Amino acid sequence: MKNYLILFSLFVSVFMMANINLPAIFTDNMVLQRNAEVVIWGSASPKEEITLKADFLDKEYKTVAGNDATFKFIIPTGKEGGPYKISLKGYNEVVLNNVMLGEVWLLSGQSNMEMSASWGIKDGDMEVSKANHPNIRFFSVPKLSSEFPQNNLYGNWQICTPETMKNFSAIGYFFAQKLQENLKNVPIGLIASAWGGSAAELWTPKEVFEANPLILDNYKKIKPSEYYPSQIAGAYNAMIYPLNDFKMKGILWYQGETNTGNPDGYKDLLASMIASWRKAKADNLPFYIIQIAGYTGWSDTTVRIKNAQRIVAQSTENSGLVVTSDLDKTDDIHPKNKKPVGIRMANLVLKNNYGFVNGLVESPAHKNVDFKENKTILQFDFAEGLHFKNKSSELFEVAGNDGIFHKAKAVLKGNQIILHTDAVAKPVEVRYAWSNVAIPDVYNKAELPLSSFTTENLK
């Protein structure tokens, strides 16, 4: 009996010591950001010495777990490549296989970011059948909400196959496919953390609301739903915060539909959310916004969300906007034509963040307005080859001091548009495509549409 007790005691001691644990973001098949200093962290027994080895490293790294039972390695990754093996050894050993070094992007927002080929996207069956890309990897964050920031989440990295692509973000997949085509098969890792129906407030850290009473007041107007929580910062705490130490190249954001019910303050909310994410990661990450499309089931407050997204993208450093209003009819809350959205986003990223010169890849963007007597003169960025889709535009309006807008005749003069209407003797405001269901009719030579905009001073 004494011998059995000794053996049992030894077994328990070994079991208690064999406790290197890694967060779920570190699994087989993962992608680590290339050419970077990346963090690998986890938990172990206090004072446990841990050794990290990897095929792409020229030396071993050692650390000792702290008295809080956590450890952290900061290691260089170097250029793209793989597959590699990473091992962490202490009292036990954890081995990660088929690890790639490449480009890592986070995808977040609501259902149109979450939407996969299995939802019935355009040409979905054909795209699924071709989705064999072993150097594209997916990580899907499950829907989780928490009152407090969490240290871990669930999930695992998967290789892109027809079976895995079918249930992953379609926009994300097409984005990765285009990136890889231009980056010559550099591995791409996509982390999808999205929740259909979620308001932007759900993705914003609590301290933003504490610092801005107006944002907090707007949050209180969110109506509860049986499909998503309305808990302040709930998704951020459970679905973004655990990823803050994981090195990424950038972030793609497609959200705003739920906030159409209360558009006041969305501009400040989105800008504050972006700043808070960057601060938490201590990295001025590229942050790209996909503008929501129109939908006949929404009120015309929708266009105010689109305008807010435009302003934030234009005024935020290291950001950009993808306009989508021209790609589908307005009768579907989940537009099916996802491939052009992913490609437009990839083209922006390739130009801005990878130095590829692929011609004009930006939509025309409102830059400046001059009011001269009864005429309005508009200037635009990215306006090369500016033209009207139907030989004329029916979507411009101007207003005088009375604030009443009237349809205006638009005339192209080079890369400028000049507006006039006899109904307004002295215009002071102008807007374009100011309707939930307006389909753009102004494009540049790349056939990219002009976003809705207004010069009104809206919240």
Query: For the packed helices 266-281 and 302-315, what is the interaxial angle rounded to 10 degrees?
Result: 40
Contacts of residue 325, defined as CB under 8 A and 6 or more positions apart, other chains included, come to 291, 293, 294, 306, 433, 438, 439, 440, 449, 451, 452
* Terminal C-alpha separation, the chain: 77
Give the whole-angstrom CA distance, residue 120 versus residue 101.
32
Domain edges within the chain = 2-101, 102-354, 365-454
Mean pLDDT per 10-residue interval, the chain, length 459 residues: 43 53 98 98 97 98 97 98 98 97 98 97 97 98 97 96 98 98 95 97 97 92 88 96 98 95 92 98 97 86 94 97 95 94 98 93 97 96 96 96 97 95 97 95 98 87
How far apart are the C-alpha atoms of 252 and 242, rounded to whole Å? Answer: 18
- pTM exceeds cut of 0.85: yes
* Cα 336 to Cα 348: distance, rounded to the nearest angstrom: 21
Class of domain 2-101: mainly beta
Tell me if 233 sits within 8 A of 199, measured CB to CB.
Answer: no
* pLDDT number for residue 459: 57
The C-alpha atoms of residue 81 and residue 102 are separated, in whole angstroms, by 7
What token pair was written down for 144?
Answer: 């989780």
Let me know how many helices (H) and strands (E) the chain has, helices first. Answer: 11, 23
185-230 confidence digits (pLDDT tens): 899 999 999 999 999 999 999 999 999 999 999 898 888 899 999 8
Token pair belonging to 276: 């808070």
Alpha-carbon gap, residue 72 to 273, rounded angstroms: 27
Can you name the residues that pair with 159 across neighbouring β-strands? 137
Q: Determine the pLDDT at residue 398.
A: 98
Residue 398 identity? V
pLDDT at position 126: 97
Give the position of tokens 């895995």: 164
Give the pLDDT score at 262: 85
Detail the DSSP E strand segments found in 361-402. 365-372, 375-381, 387-388, 396-399
What is the enclosing helix (H) or strand (E) of 344?
helix 339-354
Residue 447, classed as helix, strand or coil, is coil
- pLDDT reported for residue 10: 37
**Element housing 107 (H / E):** strand 93-109
> Of the CATH numbers 2.60.120.1030, 3.40.50.1110, 3.90.230.10, 3.30.450.20, which one belongs to the domain with range 102-354?
3.40.50.1110
> Dihedrals φ, ψ of 105, to 5°?
-130, 140
Amino acid at 140: S
Say which amino acid occupies 400. Answer: G
Query: Among 416, 420, 423, which residue's Cα sits nearest to residue 442?
Result: 416
